[in-house]
Amino acid sequence: MTFPPLPPSPLRLRIDRAALAANWQAMNRLSAPGRAGAAVKADAYGLGAGQVVPVLAAAGCRDWFVAHWREVPDVIAHVPAADVAVLHGPLDQADVAFAMATGVRPVLNSLPQVARWLAAGGGPCHVMVDTGINRLGLAMADLGDPMLARLDIDLLISHLASADEDTAQNAQQLAQFRAACGMVAARRHSLANSAGIALGGAYHADLTRPGIALYGGVARPELAGVVRRVAHPEAAVLQVRDLAAGDCVGYNATFVAQRAMRLGVVALGYADGYLRCWSNRGALLHGASRLPVVGRVSMDLTAIDLTDAPDLREGDWLAVDYDLPQAAAQSGLSQYELLTLMHRRFARTGQ
């Protein structure tokens, strides 16, 4: 069956491309004496790899990091495959074959992965070493294994566990990483994420891997005023209703009108990442007017108080009050969750 063109979505995620490019350039400047790559996993933290990667490439980024092999096609459609690293590494021969065929770089996280890569003929790769987060990566005790000397390692990587805090763990991991660099031959080295960049030059090595800071998240106080907002979600008003005093709104009647009021119902719900934690506490914006969420957020719909926007009609657009640091403080969600929760029903647009 041939379908007519799809109607426009009542949800849109406006991406400030100038802010995105400026954020990478700021992280690159702060990464001295190294330079910055970009974490574009999880579909560029929910913003859309197809939207993000070309902007960052034009800004000067040359190193890209995804988590899953299935994330590769959306990235190498825009940049050379050899510049893309897959953090989860090759779990089986299918992963190895994919890496060999495309030219993307696997990040080897265990001795079995090292053996698997070498058995297939090897080639340029990256290696992750665990320095204290106890997630992916070779243990420090594994670094003396003779297989590592047979690898063609471009990048030796580790990951900071608590760079967003002032904790002794940061210095401990740095010391472990420096020890690893002395044990494993690699052309380049990488330790710092967005928060790690703000810890200073000792953590920067040759390449940093900013993620959240590129997309408007403030991972440490030092980055406030440096990082610009990138993501601007917007939702359309589907219906306007008049309520009388005593009328209830939403599931389980958690809001009861105390007076006659106008209500707007917008095309936004927890299926779109606007979770129930915003019930009776979030807001949408109409210019300078803040329109509070009333009642429970449901799967596809959210109700708002239109008292301060008496002229709003069906089809009008509203901005979601979603500045990442402020929204995280208000909702209890992390800035990472706020971004990556926004789902496919948002039409991605740029400016």
The DSSP annotation for 77-106 comes to TTS-GGGEEETT---SHHHHHHHHHH-PEE
pLDDT of residue 213: 98
State the average pLDDT over residues 108-136.
97
Whether the predicted pLDDT of 154 surpasses 90 = yes
Residue 25, φ and ψ in degrees, nearest 5: -65, -35
Average pLDDT value for residue range 75-104: 98
Query: What is the pLDDT at residue 1?
Result: 80
Percent of the chain with pLDDT over 90: 97
Going by pLDDT thresholds of 50, 70 and 90, the confidence category of residue 86 is very high
Confidence (pLDDT) at 351: 75
d(CA 79, CA 55): 11
Q: Please answer whether residues 132 and 160 qualify as being in contact, where contact means their C-beta atoms are separated by less than 8 angstroms.
A: no
ω before 106 within 30° of 0 (cis)? no
Give tens-digit pLDDT for 243-279. Answer: 999 999 999 999 999 999 999 999 999 999 999 999 9
Whether 270 is catalytic is no
What is the band of 2 on the pLDDT scale with cuts at 50, 70, 90?
confident
Whole-model pTM above 0.85?
Answer: yes
Q: Find out whether 186 and 155 touch, Cβ atoms under 8 Å.
A: yes
Nearest to 111 by CA among 66, 150, 64: 150
Q: Are 70 and 98 in contact (CB under 8 A)?
A: no
Asked whether residue 165 carries a pLDDT value surpassing 90, the answer given is yes
User: What is the 8-class DSSP label of residue 138?
Assistant: B
d(CA 242, CA 264): 9
Q: Are strands 207-208 and 231-243 parallel, antiparallel or unpaired?
A: unpaired
Q: Is 251 a catalytic residue?
A: yes
Structure tokens given for 345: 């029903």
pLDDT at 344: 85
Mean pLDDT of 204-233: 97
Note whether 71 and 84 are within 8 A (CB). Answer: no
Catalytic residue among 45, 215, 251, 336: 251
Domains located in the chain, CATH noted: 17-223 (3.20.20.10), 232-350 (2.40.37.10)
Over 90: is that where the pLDDT of 343 sits? Answer: no
State residue 349's pLDDT score: 87
Catalytic residue among 41, 45, 215, 336: 41
Which CA distances in Å does 335 have to 3, 190, 212, 282, 323?
A: 38, 23, 8, 15, 9
Confidence of residue 295 (pLDDT cuts 50, 70, 90): very high
- Report the mean per-residue pLDDT for the chain: 97
